[in-house]
Structure 1
Amino acid sequence: MPDRLMAAIREALGEAAGWAFDHPTDRDRMEAALSAAGVERYAALPYAARPGTAADLNEWVIEAAADSEMAVPFATVHAADDDPGTVVADAFDAGARGLKLQLPVQGFAADDPRLDPVYEAVAARDAPVLLHAGTAPMFEDSPHVGVERFESFLASYPDVRVCAAHMGTYEVEAFVDLARDHDSVFLDTTFAMSSVAETYMDFDPATVADETLIELSASIMYGSDYPNIPYPYAREREHLLSRDLPVEVQRDIFSRTARRFLDGD
């Protein structure tokens, strides 16, 4: 994201959670670190905290990703934008591969009716949506998140591929059940399945059984909030790698599920 926005996000997270960040934010150094860790592709996930800013942010992200062999640009939108459907449609036409909404920070829910033209644009292009739909790490009092609001969205758009970030924490079991019952529902491991999740978000990744990861490996994909994580990047994946998971399950979680989420096949 643009330097000023990245700095603002880090400042807000630092004030809210007491976290500090030392990972690089310029693209060359970020991509060098990711490549050294074995990453081939990563999703660039912007979000607009205020109405009227999404279109310019989308343009910046898409242009910044255009000459990268690693970046997969997503778009964002704000429910209070004048014409949110057009904002998203224009971003897809310019090269965005999906949509990211950071619901509790942006201040609206997944089932906000103002987003209907957005989801229609998404469905028309068979594109995926990534939502911060759960209450972790600091949004348990937010009216915009939780499994009920996510289920309401799902009832209206059952065929849109949608990922609940952070395994849906802190309502993991409920979100896992939705992934079990709906081929269109995905989960990502970001933060929640890190080896330091108990320290930073009061969640024990061991409560997600190996059997769950095996059963739903086609619906669960590895993710991270890199570079905005307050711990070494290796911590994001070392817990998953320490489990005795079949190789085919690891291939799903670390590669194939993300491809299915992006492309629908």
Structure 2
Amino acid sequence: MSERPDDGFAPAIDAHVHLFPERLASAIQRTLTDAAGWEFEYAIDRPSMESTLVDAGVERYVALPYAHKAGVAVGLNEWLAAEAADSDRLIPFATVHPDDDGVGEIVREAFEAGARGLKFHCPVQECAPADPRIESALEVAVEYDRPITYHGGTAPMYEDDPNVGADRFAEVVESFPDLRVNCAHMGTYEVDAFVEMAREHENVYLDTTFAMSTEAEEIMGFDPSSIDDEVFETLSGSIMYGSDFPNIPYPYRAERAELLGRDLSAETYRDIFYRTAIDFLGLDD
């Protein structure tokens, strides 16, 4: 499916993409369909995904794995590193499960193999952002100056989960002040609290994934217009574009359309769609 880029979008970095072995990717999508009724139209193999992203104007993308159980992280990290070796667009992150043996060493090996950061899906992995079981992983991330992306908010179906929310996220911000941390989905449904955290701490980032889609209100009951333009203008150095591709139950274009429909400055758009991700990832432009 062609997704021609819109003015102001390309070249872009998509900071929130999911690439898994196809059997696991299919299982994840089936779980989302069962839980939320979402249906997915995009292919899940890397060449097809990259074709869609390139057509959309995406120059590079961050692939975020997450281990749903102990014992699978090493294999996922190795698989994603091999996929990255065959792509000039893929920026791999690493995963580890809190119940793995040698949590810190697993992360260290992944970073040595080229992983640019670390991903935790707090509800799926049943761990808070500063969970003592992953403390050694966070320490390795600080040592290697690698960022962490968390699913740390309560959207779209985790409002009763004890591992997520602004208060739990604040724990990792306070405990690891030298660690760059990103809360996906703009921290929905506690956007105001996460925005304030980003204002107060230069190491706190947010990504726009799902929350700023034109379909956000219908899909997850969040109104993107509730976030004022001022937030993006003043925090453009802390907010970066993401999509959740290919696990989106709507056209890829919807992820950027709401943002591009705003009257934001060209500098703000360049930050959101490109420069902030460069900074978060610690890459040379």
Tell me the distance in 2 between the aligned counterparts of 1:153 and 1:44. 22
1:33 matches 2:52: yes
1:71: how far off?
Answer: 0.3
1:264: how far off?
Answer: 7.0
Q: What is the aligned counterpart of 1:145 among 164, 174, 185?
A: 164
Which amino acid in the other structure matches residue 33 of structure 1? T
- Partner SS for 1:124: helix
What is the percentage of aligned positions where both structures have the same residue?
56
Counterpart contact for 1:126–1:264, Cα < 8 Å: no
Which amino acid in the other structure matches residue 86 of structure 1? E
Q: What is the aligned counterpart of 1:190 among 206, 209, 221?
A: 209
1:24 matches 2:48: no
Q: Which residue of 2 aligns with 1:263?
A: 282
What do you get for the CA RMSD once the two structures are aligned? 0.8
- Partner SS for 1:86: helix
Tell me the distance in 2 between the aligned counterparts of 1:56 and 1:29. 22
1:65: how far off?
Answer: 1.1
1:125 matches 2:137: no
1:42: how far off?
Answer: 0.3
1:53: how far off?
Answer: 0.7
1:62 matches 2:81: yes
Gaps of 5+ in 2: 1-19
Tell me the distance in 1 between the aligned counterparts of 2:157 and 2:250. 18
Q: Which residue of 2 aligns with 1:253?
A: 272
Gaps of 5+ in 1: none
| Structure ranking higher on relative contact order (CA contacts 8 Å, 6+ apart) | 2
Q: Which residue of 1 aligns with 2:116?
A: 97
Tell me the distance in 2 between the aligned counterparts of 1:126 and 1:253. 22
Q: Which residue of 2 aligns with 1:230?
A: 249
- Partner SS for 1:41: strand
Q: Which residue of 1 aligns with 2:69?
A: 50
Tell me the distance in 2 between the aligned counterparts of 1:39 and 1:154. 30
After the TM superposition, which residues 73-84 of structure 1 pair with which residues of structure 2 at under 5 Å, given as runs? Answer: 73-84=92-103
- Once the two structures are superposed, residues 74-115 of structure 1 have per-residue CA deviations (whole angstroms, 9 ceiling, x without a partner) of 001111101110110000000100001111011111111011
Q: Which residue of 2 aligns with 1:114?
A: 133
Q: Which residue of 1 aligns with 2:184?
A: 165
Which amino acid in the other structure matches residue 229 of structure 1? I
TM-score (norm 2): 0.92
1:204 matches 2:223: yes
- Once the two structures are superposed, residues 44-79 of structure 1 have per-residue CA deviations (whole angstroms, 9 ceiling, x without a partner) of 110000011101110001111112011000001111
Tell me the distance in 1 between the aligned counterparts of 2:53 and 2:170. 34
Tell me the distance in 2 between the aligned counterparts of 1:264 and 1:232. 29
**4+ runs deviating over 4 angstroms:** none
Counterpart contact for 1:13–1:19, Cα < 8 Å: yes
